[in-house]
Copies of this chain bind each other. A is one copy, B any other.
């Protein structure tokens, strides 16, 4: 009897009608002979409502422990309502808060990490033929304090439960019907992927395809939990995220590239004429990270006169502050010039096929050259190539790559 963990996010349970719709979906799985554990988020809007209430108390930020006590009520409401909706259509169900199912976390309130799950109660209920409904996003620390896992925590709860229960699959229901080769709003020919590997998904997610939270994907990869992204509202197979493409698919591994990710929130800053001595990059970047600014791509060029130029990208929100820090550092290090550009984007080709195929990079650069797009920065890893280009070339660049690498064709069928 297959054991499936299903997760429904805030939009999927955003109204009483949608909760009833979710109950109907679950019923079909039960009637298919599957054992079902459901993880739910707070109804959409609820977390904001609670956050506003907290703000109205005047304490900013609110005491983390008490904020968790407050926020965790959101999912608790949903588990009760979904269990009622299931009972109403004849499905036995039983709800559990994070505390009741004993999702043990560390004590880092508002961003706790799951340490252990006690699956005893869940297994007993499943054996009795019940659907188990678990509050996502929340747990309890060793001192019995309520904790929350931070953004996207419900995905992590679902994956952690699937790992603890050794579930056959963890299904994440969202408002999209799967992972696409790229954003269909940019490339209408974008195709839903039937499968993708964890590594590819991580690159796609961290680069801006916000279907799944990175943390949940990492967790699923670590415990080898097959993860499937599906639509809450439409029927369909969604996209399966796993380690292994099975044998039939291996024969057809001409799919070099899985998808194209892009990120519009980039800005780059450059400091030129820095004395070229050991540790200078570290010293400059240290000024940036001191302010909790995350640096993404970094390039260092050596110029002829014994000085060096350093360029790096940051989130666009951190652009002004980064420029200010570099200008201050410029005086200190006696560098020549500080310049920046916050009208840039990053485009990335992602695919495990790259590992064994040369020539992907040169094909990518040729596509851009043919379209007259200048590449400002390049960065590569085993399974991705990222380039920085002017913002205005984003759509043109992504569409040209999508066509050149034949992503509109389905290799798996």
**A residues with CB within 8 A of B:** 16, 19-20, 50, 53-54, 56-59, 62-63, 65-67, 69-70, 72-73, 76-77, 79-81, 83-85, 87-88, 94-95, 97, 99-100, 144-146
A70 and B80 within 8 A (CB): yes
Residues of B within 8 A of A54 (CB): 80-81, 84
If A53-B77, A54-B81 are given as contacts, then 12 extra A-B residue pairs at C-beta distance below 8 Å, sorted by A number, are: A16-B53, A16-B56, A19-B57, A20-B57, A57-B85, A57-B88, A63-B84, A66-B79, A69-B76, A70-B76, A70-B77, A100-B144
**Which of B59, B73, B81 contacts A76, CB < 8 Å?**
B73
B100 and A84 within 8 A (CB): no
Name the distance in Å between A137's Cβ and chain B's nearest Cβ.
Answer: 14
Q: Which 7 A-B pairs have the closest CB atoms?
A: A70-B80, A16-B56, A73-B73, A59-B88, A57-B84, A69-B80, A66-B83
Complex: A377 Cα to B292 Cα, angstroms: 81
Query: Which residue on B lies nearest to A19, using beta carbons?
Result: B57
27 A/B residue pairs, CB under 8 Å, sorted by A: A16-B56, A19-B57, A20-B57, A53-B77, A53-B81, A54-B81, A57-B84, A57-B85, A59-B85, A63-B83, A63-B84, A63-B87, A65-B94, A66-B81, A66-B84, A66-B87, A66-B95, A67-B80, A69-B80, A69-B95, A70-B76, A70-B80, A72-B76, A73-B76, A97-B146, A99-B99, A100-B144
Query: Which residue on B lies nearest to A92, using beta carbons?
Result: B63
Name the distance in Å between A234's Cβ and chain B's nearest Cβ.
Answer: 23
Q: Which of A20, A79, A80, A87 has the most CB of B within 10 A?
A: A80
Complex: A59 Cα to B84 Cα, angstroms: 6
Residues of B within 8 A of A145 (CB): 100
Complex: A20 Cα to B56 Cα, angstroms: 9
Query: Which residue on B lies nearest to A133, using beta carbons?
Result: B66
Residues of B within 8 A of A88 (CB): 57-59
Complex: A61 Cα to B77 Cα, angstroms: 17
Residues of B within 8 A of A100 (CB): 144-146
Residues of B within 8 A of A69 (CB): 76, 79-80, 83, 95, 97
Residues of B within 8 A of A73 (CB): 73, 76-77
Query: Which residue on B lies nearest to A63, using beta carbons?
Result: B87
Q: Which of A53, A57, A145 has the most CB of B within 10 A?
A: A57
- Given A19-B57, A57-B20, A88-B58, do A81 and B77 touch, yes or no (CB 8 Å)? no
Query: Which residue on B lies nearest to A135, using beta carbons?
Result: B69
Name the distance in Å between A43's Cβ and chain B's nearest Cβ.
Answer: 9
Name the distance in Å between A209's Cβ and chain B's nearest Cβ.
Answer: 34
Residues of B within 8 A of A58 (CB): 20, 85, 88
Complex: A73 Cα to B144 Cα, angstroms: 17
B81 and A70 within 8 A (CB): yes
Q: Which of A66, A73, A87, A94 has the most CB of B within 10 A?
A: A66
Query: Which residue on B lies nearest to A100, using beta carbons?
Result: B144
Residues of B within 8 A of A63 (CB): 83-84, 87
Q: Which of A66, A84, A144 has the most CB of B within 10 A?
A: A84
Name the distance in Å between A109's Cβ and chain B's nearest Cβ.
Answer: 12
**Which of B67, B70, B87, B99 contacts A59, CB < 8 Å?**
B87
A66 and B53 within 8 A (CB): no
Complex: A6 Cα to B403 Cα, angstroms: 70
Query: Which residue on B lies nearest to A43, using beta carbons?
Result: B53
Residues of B within 8 A of A95 (CB): 65-66, 69
- Given A57-B19, A69-B95, A69-B97, do A62 and B77 touch, yes or no (CB 8 Å)? no
